[in-house]
Structure 1
């Protein structure tokens, strides 16, 4: 469907809401596909199924994450060339095909192949959906709209945990129950495809391709007349400046101010992962089993992790509009590191105690409250905010690529570490990494709250480009 086919809506605010809901089905898929493995692994590992070892468990889990790293990078490039909307449409088709493939995989190699393909879609969505939302949203609503995607991610994970628990408890004696868990993801894949058929292309991308009339028409669909005209002029200025430069490439990041932006984008992405969050999101059921729960009890208890994630993200979406990005990250990292330190301590003190599984569950819930309430909403928002229009797809893709690479390393190594050095020592290593994350945010990350995308670009240009004599608009906090 072309942009010309989309009629001007009577209420631009309602239309903006439709765009947000449609695009964030990509976040729901992201969440379900990364969360479903949590409950599927115990059944998938059985001798009469895929007969997984700690090594092959890590391999099956991390194959999606490796694919996601590549998908995040390629998705950014494809979106810059073909458009945000068309790229997300194709990702929806890939989600559907790969989901069916994983559900019917007869052995580990085929499972790994389709998990890798699924990862390409997950990674593409992880970089493109926030960028698309950031470009569609007005500056004053950008934080809320982009962080809605984080809510859909955690909502997808909660749905995965709930369905895992229901299927695991009711049909836990059926060996192939994990296949039912996986196939359910086909439903939101279809919803994403349908949703993206009815939304317009990003006006910033249209303007960057010289399609100015279409860009203005889209802006008038999602803004009032005065806002649309003013924002169109601002976009035009940025596009005109960028048009004098060569096509976006990795070499562009050799420029001092762009190198600084890329360093911050990658750093924020890596900090998100070294908290150890996905050791809980992927292996939460096994962590609870390790602490003393039975399989069915662990599946049900794991719902608490998904539920607190959704509640915390709702709080984070409200908070991100009230509080600056930097303090949210620092408080979040302090909370996650403290929770993991307590798990490490109590795993030794209460070893073998009937109380230990409930203490571990309580502390993973506390960990996720800080992670999803503070760190999660800010991570993808900052990455979507800091890159200039011409390099936004490439820059966010590179940043998310590193997020997924670190995610992949953790996803692969966690079951091996858990079986070799135990729960306490494994989580203690994440505490150390969390402290490094606090240092990075404090020292390097600027404040982006309340600034237009074009203002942020000018800020970095003037502050870090030695050839520029401009005065910074605002000093980063």
Structure 2
């Protein structure tokens, strides 16, 4: 098998991998462009002299400056934390598509409020706007991976959900270079620092408009009893007639999963909460989903994203423009590696291997960077240019990005989008997304104090956490690539060790598929196409 060969759970018509599925996924993934852009631009914009001059930065003590910066950054994460939970009722009652429309609209309102911020009005509108934008982003970050996962054929599910991560990196790349552009080409005035805030409206507006041209999740429609609409949407997405064998198998699996959930957990709004309280298997998957984002933030990525000028200053990079340029190159490295991850790695190398390889390589790089800062102490020996040791530290920093980006950056979102049963999927993703934003908030809120108190020790701290994550993945996370959503319960069964579960289940699925086709043929379905739907019910 070549590197681009797909691992299919059953024979799949080529037309299933069509433009429509990629279009729906790309539109939903635009919320990640907004997230990535914010994580990239906010730290650099707050570092601009024009922003500091407008709000009398020099009149504050260093501690007060740190506090204001932390508050501006972190209220966004706080809003996103609550938005993740608001997405559960929105996703349950409104659906994935309308829920995304609601949260993209909330983001647009928040972004518009930020544009009213100026010296005469103070930072109140900034705080309010970033909180609202955070709520919008939190809700969208819950629903987007679920929506894409529910639409995706198993063999390319990682790739499609990976568009969410690609959007994140593209937004980050634009954010990094927008800061560099305004800092080098515009005079130091109000316009210079407000332009990066205004650009947030572009991806949010594109997403809001694009959502009117995509289809609602057929799996959600089926769970709400809207069967005909679900079948119509599924046929459009797959470009197949509903009587085709592939469609019969998929609909049969969805029906069986919904029936099983209705007879056990139930399909109501409060039923997932009861399942979470009573079912240890469900609790276990909630624990795994939330833990993945603890380890993701334990890599140090958000400390670097939100406070990149501070990080590069530790290495010895001086000057605002130089820091922004260095950060821009960091964004390019991450975007290129995301493309490699998306097209070559996630659906071939698998989720488990990526997480473990990335953590090991990333930890080694962070240990090197921390050791350089300890030995060379660049802050005590300021220079207008990097030494050879400083250059090597920057190289290892970029190599760290090459390990981290195709592993811990997007893979936890992929796993969380696919590992929960249908009726607890939105709630499970709500908890997972909320845990991401909670850890994100803590990092954004306390990173400056960490660097002040720990110095080079911050890099050692994150490196040690990356090593610990390898143990977590090896013993607890099974491989999910190529597994249909309706078979995830079997994958996470306790009796199968995580490192063996995928291989054993794929073998069982192939046997099941052969038995299903034999039963269909034995029922005479192939002899009369008009009666296939009725006959498959009997099978």
1:349 and 2:367 aligned: no
3-state SS of paired residue (1:173): coil
Q: How far apart in 2 are the matches of 1:340 and 1:50? A: 36
Cross-structure match for 2:422? 389
Aligned equivalent of 1:53, options 29, 54, 65: 65
Q: How far apart in 1 are the matches of 2:476 and 2:492? A: 13
1:443 and 2:478 aligned: no
Do the aligned partners of residues 460 and 359 (structure 1) sit closer, same or farther apart at CA in structure 2, a change above 3 Å counting?
Answer: same
Pick which of 146-155 and 412-421 moved more.
Answer: 412-421
Query: How many aligned positions are there?
Result: 459
1:358 and 2:391 aligned: yes
Do the aligned partners of residues 129 and 48 (structure 1) sit closer, same or farther apart at CA in structure 2, a change above 3 Å counting?
Answer: same
Pick which of 90-99 and 284-293 moved more.
Answer: 284-293
Q: How far apart in 2 are the matches of 1:176 and 1:420? A: 35
Q: How far apart in 1 are the matches of 2:458 and 2:191? A: 31
3-state SS of paired residue (1:201): coil
Cross-structure match for 1:467? none
- The TM-score normalised by the length of structure 1 is 0.91
Q: Deviation per CA, 1:383-407, whole angstroms, max 9, x where unpaired?
A: 0011000010000110111111111
Q: Which has the larger radius of gyration?
A: 2
Pick which of 271-280 and 36-45 moved more.
Answer: 36-45
Pick which of 11-20 and 148-157 moved more.
Answer: 11-20
Pick which of 97-106 and 142-151 moved more.
Answer: 97-106
Cross-structure match for 1:304? 329
Deviation at 1:12, TM superposition (A): 7.6
Q: Deviation per CA, 1:109-165, whole angstroms, max 9, x where unpaired?
A: 332222111111121222211110000111111111001110111000001011111
Aligned equivalent of 2:46, options 41, 45, 61: 41
3-state SS of paired residue (1:446): coil
**Structure 1: gaps of 5 or more residues:** 1-9, 465-471
Cross-structure match for 2:31? 26
Cross-structure match for 2:301? 277
Cross-structure match for 1:252? 275
Do the aligned partners of residues 57 and 359 (structure 1) sit closer, same or farther apart at CA in structure 2, a change above 3 Å counting?
Answer: farther
Cross-structure match for 2:402? 369
Q: Deviation per CA, 1:314-349, whole angstroms, max 9, x where unpaired?
A: 111120111121111011111222221111111122
Cross-structure match for 1:71? 83
Do the aligned partners of residues 96 and 434 (structure 1) sit closer, same or farther apart at CA in structure 2, a change above 3 Å counting?
Answer: same
- The TM-score normalised by the length of structure 2 is 0.81
Contact 1:54 1:419 in 2 (8 A): no
Do the aligned partners of residues 475 and 116 (structure 1) sit closer, same or farther apart at CA in structure 2, a change above 3 Å counting?
Answer: farther
Cross-structure match for 2:537? none
Which aligned pairs between 1:382-461 and structure 2 lie closer than 5 A?
382-422=415-455, 424-460=456-492
Q: How far apart in 2 are the matches of 1:359 and 1:462? A: 46
Q: How far apart in 1 are the matches of 2:253 and 2:56? A: 56
Pick which of 28-37 and 356-365 moved more.
Answer: 356-365
3-state SS of paired residue (1:53): helix
Measured on the aligned residues, the alpha-carbon RMSD in Å equals 2.2
Do the aligned partners of residues 78 and 430 (structure 1) sit closer, same or farther apart at CA in structure 2, a change above 3 Å counting?
Answer: same
**Structure 2: gaps of 5 or more residues:** 1-14, 58-63, 497-503, 509-539
Deviation at 1:281, TM superposition (A): 1.0
Q: How far apart in 1 are the matches of 2:17 and 2:340? A: 26
Q: Deviation per CA, 1:142-201, whole angstroms, max 9, x where unpaired?
A: 111001110111000001011111011112522552211111010111100111001110
Q: Deviation per CA, 1:9-54, whole angstroms, max 9, x where unpaired?
A: x998122222122111111112112221131120276143263611
1:338 and 2:364 aligned: yes
1:327 and 2:353 aligned: yes
Contact 2:483 2:506 in 1 (8 A): no
Do the aligned partners of residues 101 and 374 (structure 1) sit closer, same or farther apart at CA in structure 2, a change above 3 Å counting?
Answer: same
1:294 and 2:300 aligned: no
1:242 and 2:261 aligned: yes
Pick which of 335-344 and 169-178 moved more.
Answer: 169-178
3-state SS of paired residue (1:46): helix
Cross-structure match for 1:231? 250
Contact 1:280 1:364 in 2 (8 A): no
Cross-structure match for 1:262? 286
Deviation at 1:104, TM superposition (A): 2.4
